[in-house]
Amino acid sequence: MDTVFAQRPHFFEGQYLGADDLQTLLAYMKEQANRERLGARTWGIITGIDIASRAATDGSTEYFLTPGLATDGYGRLIAVLAPYKLDASLFASQPSGLVNVWLRYVEASAGGVRPGFEVCDAVDAFTRVSESFAVEAGLRNNLNQRQSGVDVNDTTFTDARDALGQFLPNQPIAPDGSVPAQLFPNDDDPSRWLIPVGRVPWTQGSPGSFGAADEPTQKQSMLFRQQAGLVTESIIASNGLLRLRTRWLERVAGKSNDELVQTITPAAKDLQTCHDRIEPKEAIWIEAATRLTADLRVFGHRIEWQDAGGTDYANGGIPLAIRRRSDTNPVKGVDLQVLLGKAVDGPNRLVIGQATLQAPAADPCQLDFDFADRVAIQDDGKVGIGTAATTLTTPLTIRTTGANSDALALQAGSGAIAWQINLGPTGSGLNFTQADATQTNFYVANSGNVGIGIAAPEAKLDIRQVPAPGGNALGSGKWFQAGDGNDGGRVWIQYGSQLAPLLVMSDLDDPPRLQFQQAGSGTETGPQFQSWIGHARGGSSDIAIWVGSVGIGTLQPNRVLHVESTEIHCGGGVGGFSFANRNTGAFVENPTNGERWVWYARDNNARLWSGDDKISVTQTGNMGVGVLSPAEKLDVKGNILLGSQSRYFAVGSPDNSRILAGSVPVGGLVVTLNWNASHVGAADSGQYRVNFIAPFETAPVVTVTLVNPQNNDNTICVANVSTTGFDVFSRDIDPGGSDGSSPQDSAFNFIAIGQRTT
């Protein structure tokens, strides 16, 4: 195999040098330069050669290439030494839109010799070769329109990106397409290699015109542009510092170039003494936004975040860092440690949150964002979720969110919400629920009330929404259960029309009971005071209360049953209040001699019963003795005995009569609650008027008698009797008068009996 890759001329003293020897030297130097360009870097624009625009004098937009260097895929150097204007005629055939601009290498013979000095071979008639460039415009979508391919080991690769990986496993491609080990084209070879420079906006017409370079155009132009890059395995910083930064530095009003450059120049604070040498604190400075598309590994060291001034913990700063613990942790594993430093004025925190772009958002070079705390871990280990700027005082603090004040959700293996914790629809308690956040399984209100199945418990324990299955009272609808159901002491609480009552006590050995006890001077198993409520005896549904008195509405019962309340109610078809004789106390089912009495109600009347009904009281307040439907306030079937010694019988009357009686003095003036009297006319007119305060239903019967008249010879009469009163006339028997009498005042008594008003 031939291993010769180049030949260079070797000169010796006295040697005759011809043009071929010099051409060999030039070819050698050119080939080595081409290989070096394609070996240490990739082809493309090395520096400059940007597309710039400006307004022409006629107001139109013109474009030009800025000075710079580039190299193509054959290692040929292209230099633009002065601004190069893009001629509109170059774009005349292009459609409207963004048009690609390409740069390529061209050369031509120059420096022809004068006649008579030529040699026989006409090719030698030129003493120079001009190296230049040409600009092309258009799509050039096909690869053979842009590149002529490369020859490697007698193989031509239409696509240079395939050449470098030909003999490697899986034949990878080299995206840069720079092949330094190729056989370069000879001089005057038409091989072409277009270098993408950028894109310009074009409007087709007669003539056509360039458009303005807006931001979208500039972005598309930069994406199309092919920039040269380095190809190497290592970069060694000669002075210990390697800096990666953009080339350009923006101008600042009022600052000179030296002042601007000084802002990016390393300072003394960036250096330190290590091993008796002065060296930078960091060997690599990345001074621009950085993109990482593969793994980043840190071996035995830490990643630190320092403040803008570069103050670290060694100089009084607060260490914020991440590191891998170098030794085994106390539980025989390995720790990844987040170092938050020591709190000074307040706790240092590791915060995860939400970022919102800060204004002005239109300036991508000054991007910043407003940060909203979502998860915070303090340097003392306390964790907060959604707690914003709150200093944490408990190991875990959660700030709830949403209409139901959601706090915690637990997912099932399928990813669906199985259980969740929130503060309830009104945010007024602690709520445990399942898939639906608005429902509740277990709820603790701020008041201390606990709800099962209800988010608004109305008691210390409020149980709702439990399904009531039919059949066995020991079914699945139980609310509360204690015991296994196979022995004494089982308790459960249920709800539903087909189940047991709300409180059930079960004892399979003895009659079940609910016992109350106070140890007092005794013990828990032998208390000083005790009582119980339960079944009276085995094999019976009867309930009994044993020992002590029962108080309802009182803490100090003075009887076996002491009720301090507005009423005692007994309802149902046989409701009533039953009581027995005090002297016997025996319960008689069918009393024939008054051994037991019952107050009860029937047909809207209250009745007192002992063998049969004795007294009845209607809803209007009429009371009947021996009468079930009394027609009056007191309706008695039988005699009425009155008086403190029971010596008098009540007088009966077939009519519902009313009686008024009174005594009127000589002067006549009397005022009572039921009637009043007055004298009418002058003295000794003998005329009086009696008025009834409450009128009779009809005109009553009035009887009047004189009281102590003068000489006991007066007469009296009643006149003008009505429902509201009557008149009285008193006269003295006097023979001297024309009618044998004359008016004379006199006291009198009266009785009025008449129909009572309804």
pLDDT at 79 over 60: yes
Which phi and psi angles does 23 have, rounded to 5°?
-65, -35
> Any idea which residue has 């002042």 for tokens?
259
- Is residue 557 scored above 50 in pLDDT? yes
Distance CA 464, CA 457 (A): 9
| Four-point Cα dihedral 238, 242, 245, 250, nearest 10 | -60
The predicted pLDDT at position 657 comes to 85
Q: Where are the extended beta strands (E) located within 412-552? A: 417-422, 429-433, 442-445, 450-452, 461-463, 478-482, 490-494, 504-506, 513-518, 529-535, 543-546, 550-552
> Which CATH fold would you assign to the domain 657-755?
Immunoglobulin-like (2.60.40)
Q: Which residue in 147, 130, 137 sits closest to 72, CA to CA?
A: 147
Tokens of 142: 């096909």
Q: How many CB atoms lie within 10 A of CB 340?
A: 19
pLDDT in tens, 618-632: 999 899 888 888 888
- pLDDT level of residue 471 (50, 70, 90 thresholds): very low
The pLDDT score that the predictor gives to residue 753 is 94
Provide the percentage of residues in the chain whose pLDDT is more than 90. Answer: 41
pLDDT of residue 362: 56
User: Cα dihedral sign for 587, 593, 596, 598?
Assistant: positive
- Nearest CA to 72 out of 172, 177, 164 is that of 177
Query: Which neighbouring-strand residues pair with 577?
Result: 599
Residue pair 194/140 in contact by the 8 Å Cβ criterion: yes
pLDDT tens for 391-433 read: 999 999 998 888 889 999 999 999 999 999 999 878 889 999 9
Q: Which residues pair with 242 in a beta bridge?
A: 284
pLDDT at residue 364, as a whole number? 62
State the Cα–Cα distance between residues 727 and 699, nearest whole angstrom: 13
Most confident of 123-132, 436-445, 473-482, 580-589: 436-445
Instruction: State mean pLDDT over 310-333.
Output: 81
What the block records as the tokens of 4 is 């010769």
Is 118's pLDDT higher than 80? no
Q: What local confidence, expressed as pLDDT, does residue 631 receive?
A: 82
Rounded to whole angstroms, the Cα distance separating 80 from 195 reads 13
527-551 pLDDT per residue, tens: 888 887 877 777 777 888 877 788 8
CA 78 to chain centre: 65
* Average pLDDT rounded to a whole number, residues 466-481: 51
Contacts made by residues 125-130, CB under 8 angstroms, sequence distance 24+ = 129/187
Among candidates 728, 727, 724, which has minimal Cα distance to 692?
Answer: 724
Q: How confident is the model at residue 736 (pLDDT cuts 50, 70, 90)?
A: low
Strands 209-210 and 714-722, by their bridges, are: unpaired
Q: How far apart are CA 489 and CA 502, in angstroms?
A: 16
Type and span of the H or E element at 38? helix 19-40
- Please, which pLDDT band fits residue 500 given cuts at 50, 70 and 90? very low
Question: Of 231, 230, 203, which Cα lies nearest the Cα of 46?
Answer: 230
Q: What percent of the chain has pLDDT over 70?
A: 89
Instruction: Name the amino acid, one letter, at 191.
Output: S
Pick 525 or 129 by higher pLDDT: 129
Mean pLDDT is lowest, of 39-43, 140-144, 696-700, 754-758, for 754-758
- Does pTM top 0.75 for this prediction? no
User: Can you point out the beta strands (E) in 270-348?
Assistant: 271-274, 277-280, 284-286, 302-305, 320-324, 336-339
Note whether 512 and 504 are within 8 A (CB): no
**Secondary structure of residue 465 in the 3-state scheme:** coil
In angstroms, what CA-CA distances link 595 with 216, 600, 606, 612, 616? Answer: 112, 17, 20, 12, 19
| Rounded Cα gap, residues 468 and 475, in angstroms | 8
* Contacts for 262 with CB less than 8 Å, ≥ 6 apart: none
- Map out the domains of the chain as residue ranges: 19-224, 577-649, 657-755
With beta carbons less than 8 A apart as the criterion, state whether 444 and 430 touch. Answer: yes
pLDDT of 443 > 80? The answer is yes
Give the pLDDT confidence score for residue 165 in this predicted structure. 92
| C-alpha dihedral sign at 320, 323, 327, 331 | positive
Q: How far apart are CA 526 and CA 275, in angstroms?
A: 87
pLDDT, residue 193, reads 97
> CA quadruple 369, 372, 374, 380: dihedral positive or negative?
positive
Alpha carbon distance 167, 163 (integer Å): 9
Please state, in angstroms and rounded to a whole number, the distance separating the CA atoms of residues 528 and 526.
7
Rg of the chain in Å (alpha carbons) = 62
Q: Is 70 exceeded by the pLDDT of residue 122? A: no
Is the bond preceding 364 in cis, omega lying within 30 degrees of 0? Answer: no
Q: Name residue 598's amino acid.
A: V
pLDDT value of position 469 = 46
Length of the chain: 758
Both structure tokens of 7: 């030949």
From residue 683, how far is each of 671, 687, 726 by CA, in Å? 20, 9, 20
| Distance, CA of 37 to CA of 5 (rounded, Å) | 17
Average pLDDT, the chain: 85
538 in helix, strand or coil? coil
Tokens of 123: 């090719």
d(CA 704, CA 698): 19
What CA–CA distances, in Å, run from 108 to 55, 68, 195, 266, 611? 34, 21, 20, 48, 146
